[in-house]
Amino acid sequence: MRLSYALLAAGSFQAVQCAPSSSHNSGSDNLTIKTNLFTVRGAIFPNTTDVRFFGGIPYAEPPVGDLRFRPPATAKPRNETLNATWFGPSCIQYSNGQHTVYSEYLTGFLLKPGQVQSEDCLTLNIWAPKGSKEGDALPVMIWLHGGGHTSGGAASPYKYGHRIVRDQNVILVALNYRLNIFGYPKAAALDGHNLNPGLLDQRKAVEWVYQNIHAFGGAADKMILFGQSAGAFSVDMYTYAYPSDPLVRGFIAQSGMADSSTRTFDPFGSNFTYVASQVVCNSSVADEVFSCMQSAPASSLITVYNKYNATLNNNAPLSFTPTPDNETVFANYTDRQARGLFAHLPMLISQTNDEGSSLLPFDPAGPAGGQAAIDQFTRSFSTCPSARGALARKSWNVPVWRVRYFGEWPNLNPFEWLGAYHSSDIPMVFGTSDLRGPDTQMERETSRYYQAAWAAFVRDPEKGLVEYGWSMYDPIGETLVKLGNGSVGAVFTLGDVFDDGCGYG
């Protein structure tokens, strides 16, 4: 089942460059930072006094023209000081116009409404404590956003990093990566290689952070990669793509594992060819089609995808999501788990209790099939892949923890039937649960406990959670961590209590 996230985010597809700043500060306010490639001028994040923000920092060259559909090109040095006081444009979004709980009731979970979109979007954003400086060697959290690999971005109010940075004394980096047809083109001309530029963008951003985060007070040897939904799929896929050179020292996957992601098997590139035919890029030669598609207006390509009607096309799906190329994505993760072909680094695997409630077709009365349908979706989408991933780590003596979130709060649940829906744990981690109304006291304290747990892992991926009171995962021990389950702290239960029917591969 392809995740379909609708987003009511208008905005043009114009390219917006980082503008030169007219203010060249000596650095006494710690807002002008010289990286290895250029100097950036940031700002104190709005409504804070103690968190700096540096936004729209290019980690790669704009993926336009000959670079469209290709792996990201390393960012070039620039002589001017870049204005990094706010987010740059988000990557071009897919939206088929379907109503979802996110588009109708939870706006801002994917992007802030009205966020500008552009093909020139390969930028990252850094939140850092006001006083942090080179040499402080703070832990670094690199965030990969969700959105089904078709939409979403770093400019989401629920995922702003200022509160966790302030409270936990870490540095947080959130990045954009190419989406939909721009990130996962599956063109025949690619000949089976580099089929997932969006995933390669993520790696390029991690490399940039590794090389430059010291200038913001971070430590390259204290980085972890974490994400939710498509971002979690990406985190886990990253562990298989870079088993011996991950650059980070730990992983957190919230609501997604490599073998639960939507992968498109389109060996002949027919989806790409269909879009090409609609923008008059017709040729029997794959390279000519590819070249033409690199020159077509970006708005034309996404319009074809947005307006595609399967009913009018013999019910043939049109999809652009990660596809196996045996480089960044693999066809058989069960085999790779058995052989230990993943980065043997600590991992925290988390999910919500009712993933399916907000992902099944939306109806204000609740999804067809009720709670049984929600539970079935949750099991196949998250619970069983999480079990397989956790067991694979345990079998190879890799430290692994497993979390299940049950929180339901008045200011985050527009419908009671949503329960602990997909994405509802994000505000707990980022401390942003009060965006739609005031928190309850327990909600606020639960978020603090959540943040502290994530930060404990970040500071010491091997032992931090053990010192926090959590045992490493064991399916037959009381090691499954239940959060938001009637108490502020953790409740522990048997590791495999929710795994009936999973089969474990």
Instruction: Check whether 192 has a pLDDT greater than 70.
Output: yes
**DSSP-assigned states of every residue in 46-66:** TT-SSEEEEEEEESB----GG
**Active-site option among 151, 162, 422, 424:** 422
**Active-site option among 229, 357, 382, 386:** 229
Q: What's the pLDDT at 18?
A: 38
Measure the CA–CA gap between 357 and 229, rounded to whole angstroms. 14
Q: What is the pLDDT of residues 204-242, one digit of tens each?
A: 999 999 999 999 999 999 999 999 999 999 999 999 999
> What are the counts of helices (DSSP H) followed by strands (DSSP E) for the chain?
14, 14
244 is catalytic: no
Instruction: Check whether 5 has a pLDDT greater than 60.
Output: no
| Three-state DSSP state, 226 | strand
Q: What does DSSP assign to residue 176?
A: -
Domain with CATH 3.40.50.1820 in the chain: 1-93+116-263+319-345
Q: What is the pLDDT of residues 75-107, one digit of tens each?
A: 999 999 999 999 999 999 999 989 999 999 999
- Which residues are CB-contacts of 109 (< 8 A; sequence separation ≥ 6)? 102, 156, 158, 423, 426
Q: What's the pLDDT at 268?
A: 75
Vertex 170 angle, CA 164 and 174, to 5°: 70
Q: How confident is the model at residue 3 (pLDDT cuts 50, 70, 90)?
A: very low
The percent of residues in the chain predicted with pLDDT above 90, rounded, is 90
Q: What is the pLDDT of residues 152-191, one digit of tens each?
A: 999 999 999 999 999 999 999 999 999 999 999 999 999 9
Q: How confident is the model at residue 480 (pLDDT cuts 50, 70, 90)?
A: very high
Instruction: Check whether 448 has a pLDDT greater than 70.
Output: yes
Bridge partners (DSSP) of residue 251 are: 225, 347
The Cβ of residue 89 has, within 10 Å, a number of other Cβ atoms equal to 24
| Three-state DSSP state, 318 | coil
Q: What's the pLDDT at 90?
A: 98
Average pLDDT over residues 476-480: 97
Nearest CA among 475, 425, 467, 470 for reference residue 450 = 425
Q: What's the pLDDT at 14?
A: 36
Q: What's the pLDDT at 261?
A: 62
Measure the CA–CA gap between 351 and 355, rounded to whole angstroms. 8
**DSSP-assigned states of every residue in 466-480:** HHTTPPPP-TTSS-E
Q: What's the pLDDT at 267?
A: 73
Q: What is the pLDDT of residues 367-376, one digit of tens each?
A: 999 999 999 9
Nearest CA among 318, 322, 329, 309 for reference residue 276 = 318
118 is catalytic: no
Residues in the chain: 505
Side-chain-side CA neighbours of residue 503 (13 Å):
4
Q: What's the pLDDT at 263?
A: 66
Average pLDDT over residues 39-55: 97
The Cβ of residue 75 has, within 10 Å, a number of other Cβ atoms equal to 21
461's tokens: 């991926």
* 329 neighbors 234 (Cβ within 8 angstroms): no
Q: What is the pLDDT of residues 259-287, one digit of tens each?
A: 986 666 777 789 999 999 999 999 999 99
**Active-site option among 90, 132, 255, 355:** 355
422 is catalytic: yes
Measure the CA–CA gap between 126 and 160, rounded to whole angstroms. 10
Average pLDDT over residues 333-347: 97
Q: How confident is the model at residue 255 (pLDDT cuts 50, 70, 90)?
A: very high
268's tokens: 């002949």
pTM: 0.93
Q: Which stretch of 108-112, 423-427, 448-452 has the lowest confidence by average pLDDT?
A: 108-112
Q: What's the pLDDT at 103?
A: 93
Q: What's the pLDDT at 12?
A: 34
**DSSP-assigned states of every residue in 92-161:** PPP------HHHHT-TTSSS-TT--B-S---EEEEEEETT--TT--EEEEEEE--STTTS--S--GGG--
* 214 neighbors 139 (Cβ within 8 angstroms): no
Q: Which stretch of 48-52, 70-74, 233-237, 314-318 has the lowest confidence by average pLDDT?
A: 314-318
Q: Please, what is the average pLDDT of the chain? A: 92
Bridge partners (DSSP) of residue 404 are: 351, 482
**DSSP-assigned states of every residue in 294-317:** HHS-HHHHHHHHHH--GGGGTT--
Domain 1-93+116-263+319-345: CATH architecture, name and number where available: 3-Layer(aba) Sandwich (3.40)
**DSSP-assigned states of every residue in 232-279:** HHHHHHHHHHSSS--SSS-EEEES--GGGS-----TT-HHHHHHHHHT
Average pLDDT over residues 443-455: 97
- Which residues are CB-contacts of 382 (< 8 A; sequence separation ≥ 6)? 255, 256, 257, 260, 351, 352, 355
Instruction: Check whether 505 has a pLDDT greater than 70.
Output: no
Instruction: Check whether 19 has a pLDDT greater than 70.
Output: no
